[in-house]
Chain A
């Protein structure tokens, strides 16, 4: 016990020294569950004999995040991203290891800590569906004990920044997904948190709404120096918002560093997507431009070296192929993660 207190104090000092807002050390989380077999017979046998299984959702991860950073937390489904966010917000308790956010142990569920952070989940809504968002904002104000002046100031600013003044008085269940997400963000930020955890904030939104939310987060972070940790499936979210990414797979951190260097190191290629009209093209006609990842006569995916991509795009455009459209893209984040993971395993 004493050792633990000592460790915590050590960590607290570390925050003070390094301005680290989030510190995670050797964090692990196991889930226990019972194996369920398929079919009726399986179900009957499960009724009598249950086999206990353990999955390691997070396995000995460590990282720290400084004030004002926006960190992208990436990885395939089930990698442990959400589990980590849940531990950092105190919803669940880790199996081993320590974490400290703003000098607090999240699992203590202290009101003091809860008034300083917010968690927004793209797939869980906290607004009352039957009421206009404004009513939920007022409820949030009371729950967090926000003063009248602060509430007025913050809500006006947030509503303006997100451009939703015309919808805050409409019943939430009549809003579109994008509008609802914007209202969720207002509700989460009313108490002006120092740390913001975002779990898939743009999931299921159309491109315009995604962009709106990204722009908002960027501005908000610049203005308030809020530390943001965000998970997303969309490469665009990460590219626009985060300087730093942490990639996690099967519970392990497999990359932690600048996004730029990640892209340079692991993706010497870019992806060229070319669509054709008319009679389309044959595989032979395009083979010379680069490695063909996907092919059909009207749309191809080419892997091209980073430095050469502009020239090759020009070549294709100026050739006599019936080009309809051409797009230059980064490799998908999931592909990068997979690639890193495979290399790790080789070593």
Chain B
């Protein structure tokens, strides 16, 4: 545990040297949200309700969902695939530490740091649109959402890590990752609530992990999904975490046999 705390701490220190880059990223996030708000406001100019969403609900969905989305974001894919491709993985293979644990600690370190800044910028945006934002301070709802976000963070990490491991077999992983990222964003409801699509779509999505990193937490916040269904969601997430972990174990074992540690 102490080892991992040290890694988290070191990553904090490292990121502090990149203050400007991190702030610059936040500006991009804010612009993206404002574009979404403008777009939905334009769509709603002729109608009050679309598939059960009022404008206020839709904007809350966007603001809350993108906050969740930013919380669970990681940079694991780039790191893992790069380190396999350029042979830097070798340096971890010879150390008494698990690579999965090491990268996870790095992501957690990043999480804490970016979280604070993102939450601040996000709250500023929400405050700016406060008259269009629905407030929900019910502890039970917030508790379920919190656990869901933590699990979603772990799932996002495992998926990115798994895709990164493909670099054991081919150098060309970036295209795969970009495609999966877009699909992920679509299935998570990042572009628009998936409930705007046929209902079969939503019921299938609930068995996959993606919806829990945007759509479901936002819907719970809006009380459009009940607490009971939220708890079922948590179980689905845990099953996925176990599944992904096992897949990673197998893929890692096979990959490491293929690994040639190029460049050293």
Q: Is B2 an interface residue (CB 8 A)?
A: yes
Q: Is B14 an interface residue (CB 8 A)?
A: yes
Cβ 8 A contact of B94, one of A91, A123, A128, A142: A91
Asked whether A93 lies within 8 Å of B257 as measured between CB atoms, the reply is yes
A-B contact count (CB 8 A): 73
Residues of chain B lying within 8 A (CB to CB) of residue A90: 93-94
In the assembled complex, the Cα of A130 lies from the Cα of B18 at a distance in Å of: 9
Asked whether B96 lies within 8 Å of A128 as measured between CB atoms, the reply is no
Q: Is A170 an interface residue (CB 8 A)?
A: no
Q: Is A199 an interface residue (CB 8 A)?
A: yes
Asked whether A139 lies within 8 Å of B10 as measured between CB atoms, the reply is yes
Residues of chain A lying within 8 A (CB to CB) of residue B5: 142
Looking at the assembled complex, report how far the CB atom of A101 sits from the nearest CB atom of chain B, in whole angstroms.
Answer: 12
Residues of chain B lying within 8 A (CB to CB) of residue A118: 94
Q: Is B175 an interface residue (CB 8 A)?
A: no
Report A136-175 CB contacts with B as 1/0, cut-off 8 Å. Answer: 1011011111000000000000000000000000010000
Asked whether B10 lies within 8 Å of A131 as measured between CB atoms, the reply is yes
In the assembled complex, the Cα of A119 lies from the Cα of B88 at a distance in Å of: 13
In this complex, what residue of A is CB-closest to B17? A130
Residues of chain B lying within 8 A (CB to CB) of residue A141: 6
Residues of chain B lying within 8 A (CB to CB) of residue A31: 260
Asked whether B14 lies within 8 Å of A143 as measured between CB atoms, the reply is no
Given known A-B contacts A128-B14, A135-B13, A199-B264, A143 and B90 have beta carbons under 8 A apart = no
Cβ 8 A contact of A142, one of B3, B18, B90, B264: B3
Asked whether B264 lies within 8 Å of A89 as measured between CB atoms, the reply is no
Q: List 18 A-B contacts (CB under 8 A).
A: A89-B94, A91-B90, A91-B93, A92-B260, A92-B261, A111-B96, A114-B96, A124-B264, A128-B10, A128-B14, A130-B14, A130-B18, A131-B13, A135-B10, A138-B10, A144-B95, A145-B3, A199-B264
Chain B interfacial positions (CB closer than 8 Å to A)? 2-3, 5-7, 10, 13-14, 17-18, 87-88, 90-91, 93-97, 257, 259-261, 263-264
Q: What 5 pairs across the A-B complex have the smallest Cβ distances?
A: A111-B96, A142-B6, A114-B96, A142-B3, A91-B261
